[in-house]
Amino acid sequence: MKKLSWPPYSDLNLMEDDIAMDSNHYDTFVGEGKSTTSDSEELEELTMEDPPGYSEGMMFPVDDLFQDQIDSEEYFALESMSKRFLNLIKKESTILSVGKQTDKSASIILKEGHNLINLSKDASNKVNIHKFHQEYGDPMFHTFRRKFDGFCIASSQTAGDSLEIILNNIYNHLRPISNGLIILKNSSDFSSNIEKIGFKIIDKHINKVGKYLVSKNDSNKTAIVRCYNKEDNVDASVVFRCDIAKSFREKVDGLQTYSRLDKESGLLFPYNRPTDVFYHMGSVSYPIDIIFINENFKIKKISKNIQPGSLEVFGCHGVKYVLEISGGLSDVLGIKESNSIYIEQGADFDDDLLKIANTIKNSGVDKYIFKRSSVLKSGFYNILNNKIYVINNNENQHSVTQIIKNASLNYESENKIVAFDIDNLFLNNNFKIKLYKHAAPDDDKRIFIGLHNEVFSADKNSFIEVDLSDIVSKGFYEKINSTYSVIPNESMRYSDIDNKERDKALEKICETALDSKKRIVFVSRKNNDRIILENFLEKEIEIKKGLKTSISSDLVRVPEDYGSKDIFKALKEKYSENNIELYSDSLVKSAGIPVPDDIKSKAKHALRYFDRSKDMCDTLIENFNKNLAAYEKVQGNKDVISNSKGKYNQSVKRNSRITKRMLINIKNGIKILNDIKDISTTSEIINIIADSSKASSEAVKEVFDLINILDTDDFINQCTQKTQNSENVIDDLKMALSRAKEYINSDILGILILSE
């Protein structure tokens, strides 16, 4: 068995070439709202007007298809059922809507964090944007390239056979456990037609408009899979809720039709007899582990953390079952070869687990994995960015109060944090991104795939340029994505950036993403969008390195004035761990490792250079103030001041030598620091000292140049101003040198290693 790969987007004219439909044969569409595509070339904040008949939380417009049949009772029932439908859908689900989608209707679903796929009868000017994808075709026959967690349809098509064909087609594209909302422009009861397809009606309200809240529960396509770490099947087990790929088509498609895979979920491939199997990623867009299981229900082989875009083939001999789970979970949960597997098809969590799951869900927690243990205490464990709810086999789990108490307990595991200062590494070079004005996909034009795999046509001569730092800022790309899109290969000309530090950081991100024992943390002083940032870095890695990488990260925001040392301390406090690396300008600081003696020796030399420089700063300030005091004593005696030109010249030469020695010592100290290359702070300190040295040199020169106006009436006034200015600037240099000394004493001569 070998899986095939779907194309990255659907055939937008799938049905029109093969089936000629009567345009009056069906009408499954609600009224169309304002298009999300603006004709303006300028960037504007898009506004959405509420169509008549909307109330907060109602998903469907009623101003067109149902306007003449809606009264207050219908409004109330529709709103109530819409909210119930959304409450049944898990976060970040993929929902199918059938009919022309208004902005308001779509925004309610998208604001819940879901992905929305809209099937419309005709092509429109709407463009696929972030989390919104539009296809057009006949709902009776259209083939989708994905599985849906829920659906909603508003239709005036109530002919029994046509309605059943539409619902049957939708049913076949749903996951085994899913929900839907059906609204029909008819006062007749269509319950029997709906139930004939296989749906269970949870609730219905029939007046002038029929409203049906339905569920699909195909237990033949679900299973509970338990993995046991010991032969006695008692000590520790991990539980997965799985869909089953039974048919040949389902096995070929695999996870390619799943837009996401929950942490507690998996996809199970059963075979009638031990089989030699071969698997590959195809178009799966997230990392997975593939677990091969023999006929004795033992794990034979695990292919771990396979990344999207991988061209490798993963096979095994004599396999009875294959289980695909989220990438890296095998290592996180301790699943190993030779572990025992228990598979119960058609089952759900047992009563205890269901009670715990429902209680935790009502507490607002999602995306967690169940694990039983006789050793660990009950509660949540955060392991490598995975939330695991451990159930202690010896504790009572029947009390809701006890479940809530256990769920409030959080245990942090010891992870390795690899952090990146993205402001310094990626967003500090005014890198411009081209955003192209897009239109609905047109078969006569070239079709592009955008940053979020949105599909559109675009004129490559119609674009705007925006800083990358603006695009990754919170809300920016979401606002303009209805009019402009990124075309990765066209928009991002990384060849324009000759930045070795950036490339080194990208390599480190790739390395870390592949290591399930490490956790990526991005640090920024701005309010950035983590998903947009991850997508851009994934595309940059793909374009520059030819690698497809799936990045999963934390995004930590720090104050504007935070330097690398401040960030490092903040990360240690936030993650309560010592095993932290911070990358900034290609350098890294790690905690808890002794400093080598040769590094300490170099640091001591730098310390002496900075000590000497600081002493010379004091000497210069003292000399300048002595000169000023001497001239103030003879202020008004122009002849005495004019005759002091020779002495002033000698003072200039003497202080010039001091200044030169000071700058040489600073240069030598900087050179040593540059050789040490402490990752988090050195470059920052070097820049501060260099800037302060330059400013001090210029201020000192202004004092020296006063010799040219020695015989003017303004000399004393200028001498006072220039001396005071030089003292202030040299004081700043002294502060920079003091900071460097403190840094060397505490970080280099202390307990921290500073290495490249």
pLDDT exceeds 50 at position 741: yes
pLDDT of residue 129: 61
Helix H, strand E, coil C: the string for 194-230 is HHHHCCEEEEEEECCCEEEEEEEECHHHEEEEEEECC
The tokens describing 106, both together, are: 């779509």
pLDDT of residue 31: 30
Nearest Cα residue to 28 out of 118, 153, 209: 153
- Please report the DSSP string for 284-349 in residue order: --S-EEEEEE-TTSBEEEEEEEEPTT----EEEEEEEEEEEEETTHHHHHT--TT-EEEEEET---
Hey, where are the domains in the chain?
A: 1-217, 220-348, 422-590, 597-755
Under the banding of pLDDT at 50, 70 and 90, the label for residue 171 is very high
Nearest Cα residue to 43 out of 473, 530, 472, 463: 463
Question: How do residues 692-723 score in pLDDT, each as one tens digit?
Answer: 899 899 999 999 999 999 889 899 999 999 99
Residue found by looking up tokens 């944090």 in the block? 417
pLDDT exceeds 60 at position 409: no
**pLDDT, average across residues 600-625:** 90
Under the banding of pLDDT at 50, 70 and 90, the label for residue 157 is low
**pLDDT, average across residues 587-607:** 67
Question: Can you tell me the distance from the alpha carbon of 565 to that of 680, in angstroms, rounded to the nearest whole number?
Answer: 6
pLDDT of residue 49: 39
Under the banding of pLDDT at 50, 70 and 90, the label for residue 732 is confident
pLDDT exceeds 80 at position 147: yes
pLDDT of residue 278: 92
Please determine, looking at this structure, whether the domain spanning 597-755 carries the CATH number 1.20.120: yes
pTM check: above 0.95:
no
Under the banding of pLDDT at 50, 70 and 90, the label for residue 647 is very high
pLDDT of residue 70: 62
Q: What is the DSSP secondary structure assignment for residue 745, as one 8-state letter?
A: I
Under the banding of pLDDT at 50, 70 and 90, the label for residue 15 is very low
Q: Identify which has the larger pLDDT, 70 or 209.
A: 209
pLDDT exceeds 80 at position 13: no
Report the 10 Å Cβ neighbour count for 193: 19
Q: What is the DSSP secondary structure assignment for residue 528, as one 8-state letter?
A: B
pLDDT exceeds 80 at position 296: yes
Q: Which of 7-16, 558-567, 645-654 has the lowest mean pLDDT?
A: 7-16
Residue found by looking up tokens 């030779």 in the block? 338
Q: Identify which has the larger pLDDT, 550 or 252.
A: 252
pLDDT of residue 531: 85
pLDDT of residue 302: 94
Question: Can you tell me the distance from the alpha carbon of 342 to that of 224, in angstroms, rounded to the nearest whole number?
Answer: 8
Q: CATH: 3.30.530.20, 2.60.120.580, 3.40.50.150, 1.20.1250.20. Which one for 1-217?
A: 3.40.50.150
Is 724 exposed, middle or buried (CB count within 10 Å of its CB: 0-12, 13-18, 19+)?
middle
Dihedral sign, Cα of residue 470, residue 475, residue 478, residue 483: negative
CATH code: domain 220-348 is 2.60.120.1140
Question: How do residues 302-312 score in pLDDT, each as one tens digit?
Answer: 999 888 888 88
Question: Can you tell me the distance from the alpha carbon of 194 to that of 213, in angstroms, rounded to the nearest whole number?
Answer: 11
pLDDT exceeds 60 at position 39: no
Is 261 exposed, middle or buried (CB count within 10 Å of its CB: 0-12, 13-18, 19+)?
buried
The tokens describing 621, both together, are: 């300030």
Question: Can you tell me the distance from the alpha carbon of 538 to that of 471, in angstroms, rounded to the nearest whole number?
Answer: 15
- What average pLDDT does the chain have? 77
The tokens describing 500, both together, are: 């070795």
Question: How do residues 120-145 score in pLDDT, each as one tens digit?
Answer: 876 555 555 667 777 878 888 888 88
Question: How do residues 207-243 score in pLDDT, each as one tens digit?
Answer: 888 899 999 999 889 999 988 875 544 455 788 989 9
Under the banding of pLDDT at 50, 70 and 90, the label for residue 23 is very low
pLDDT of residue 627: 92
Nearest Cα residue to 203 out of 83, 62, 29: 83
Question: Can you tell me the distance from the alpha carbon of 70 to that of 278, in angstroms, rounded to the nearest whole number?
Answer: 55
pLDDT of residue 102: 64
Dihedral of the CA atoms 75, 97, 439, 37 (nearest 10)?
Answer: 20
